[in-house]
Amino acid sequence: MSSKIDIRKIVYNHFSTIVDYDTKKASINDCLTFLVFPLCISGYLALNKVFLDDSIVEILVGALSIFVGLLFSLLLFVFDLIKKDNVIRVKRDLAKEVIHNIAFSIVVAILSNLFLLLSITHINSSFTKAIFNFISDFLLIEFTLTLLMILKRMYVLILDEIKDIERSDKT
């Protein structure tokens, strides 16, 4: 694979952020939330042949494409936050983790679009259709969970910025 499109580092960096802050090791809750839960739900949907129809896929592809654009903008916002001279190390570390999470969510959205489009192609094999739907469902759940994690981390960063502004106003 060309090094220009190699996403392994993005994936590795994202999963390196899903650790317990005290032990710096993966927690069982995080593994359950970000891997087991999406796999179980996707497996259940695929085994029960719950597939997305063409119109839903078209809506999802459009929505994910919009999210990709918004996430690129969010990447720039977080990068701008890191560039500030007075950013303390903890905030800078959290901002780096958010950047890893945002980059990963962009990759997941792009892959989701690919597999969503493959899932609505005219496939004669029900097994192949189930595989494409399983992957699409897994990626969509993973995207949603990662988006929630980004939201929480951005919330913490922004509230911390507001506290810094309030402290500087008092002095």
pLDDT of residue 125: 85
Mark the ranges of the chain whose per-residue pLDDT is less than 50.
none
Q: How many domains does the chain have?
A: 1
How high is the pLDDT of residue 26? 84
**Which pLDDT score, from 0 to 100, does residue 22 have?**
76
pLDDT value at residue 85: 62
Domain assignment present for residue 121? The answer is yes
In a domain? residue 120: yes
pLDDT at 69: 96
106 three-class SS: helix
Cα angle: 70, vertex 29, 49; to 5 degrees: 70
Domain interval for residue 27: 8-166
What whole-number distance in Å separates Cα of residue 92 and Cα of residue 95? 5
Q: Write down the pLDDT at residue 141.
A: 98
